[in-house]
A = this chain, B = another copy of it.
Amino acid sequence: MKLLEDKIIEYGQIKHGNVVKVDTFLNHQLDPFVVDALADEFIRLYSGSSISKILTIESSGIAIAYPVASKLGVPLVFAKKAESINLDGELYTSKVFSFTKHREYDVIVAKKFLSDKDNVLIIDDFLANGSALNALLSICTQANLHVEGIGICIEKCFQKGGEEIRSKGYRIESLAMIESIDADNQKIVYKS
């Protein structure tokens, strides 16, 4: 999606350690003109599908998933990260390892919000190693629901998450697919 690719080039900062920082418009400050356009594009890509719920994970997925849910008129569920809570039987739980924070989290969704009747579209800001996305997919499997697909703003294709998850049969639509980055020269190459 050209709008997003251009915004990343204009405002993104490439840091060593494979970090693409887009906090100016996507995940600390949000430009609603950009985010609403991303939502419209996800809706266009999944326009043939009857989505019942949007699923994302806190925090930076929420603002991107919200306009998708609002425009489709379906509920948004966001998985919560929790370090040490009393997990009881009313929760779907999974684990995610945060590479930026070097720590493992529990990820939880209350069982009452996802059921085997749901057809879910998962939305998130980044896909790199796939740790967060795999946690969400595990929760979907526990809920025995159908995952219609996954919508990602920025996929770092040089990391393994996208390839692994696609190989399991999931449909992933990524609006900007980065093939390589060069922190020293602040250069981004998109997948053509």
Chain A residues with a Cβ under 8 A of chain B: 23-24, 28-33, 35-36, 58-59, 62-63, 66-67, 69-70, 73-78, 80, 109-110, 112-113
Q: Verify B80–A32 contact, CB threshold 8 A.
A: no
Q: From the candidates B35, B74, B75, B113, name the one contacting A70 in the complex (CB within 8 A).
A: B35
Instruction: Say which residue of B58, B66, B70, B113 sits within 8 Å of A58 (CB atoms).
Output: B58
> With A and B bound together, what is the CA distance between A70 and B32 in angstroms?
5
Contact A73 B28 (CB under 8 A): no
Shortest distance between the CB of A116 and any CB in chain B (Å): 17
Q: Chain B residue with minimal CB distance to A85?
A: B101
Q: What CA separation (Å) do A59 and B57 show in the bound complex? A: 10
A24 to chain B, nearest CB (A): 8
Expressed in whole angstroms, the Cα–Cα distance for A33 and B75 within the complex equals 9
Are B32 and A59 in contact, CB atoms less than 8 angstroms apart?
A: no
Copy total for this chain: 2
**Chain B residues positioned under 8 Å from A67 (CB to CB):** 66-67, 70
Q: Which residues of B contact A23 (CB under 8 A)?
A: 110
A58 to B27 alpha-carbon distance, docked (Å) = 11
Q: Select A36's contact among B24, B31, B70, B109, beta carbons within 8 Å.
A: B70
With A23-B110, A110-B28 already in contact, the answer to whether A66 and B63 are too (CB < 8 A) is: yes
With A30-B76, A66-B66 already in contact, 7 other A-B pairs whose C-beta atoms are closer than 8 Å: A23-B110, A28-B77, A29-B113, A32-B69, A32-B73, A36-B70, A63-B78
With CB as the reference atom, state the residue of chain B lying closest to A33.
B73
Which residue of B24, B75, B80 contacts A31 across the interface (Cβ within 8 Å)? B75
Per the bound structure, the CA–CA distance linking A30 and B67 in Å amounts to 11
Report the minimum CB–CB distance from A136 to chain B (whole Å): 14
Other-chain residue from B28, B70, B75 in contact with A78 (beta carbon distance below 8 A): B28
Most central of A31, A32, A35, A59 by chain B CB within 10 Å: A32
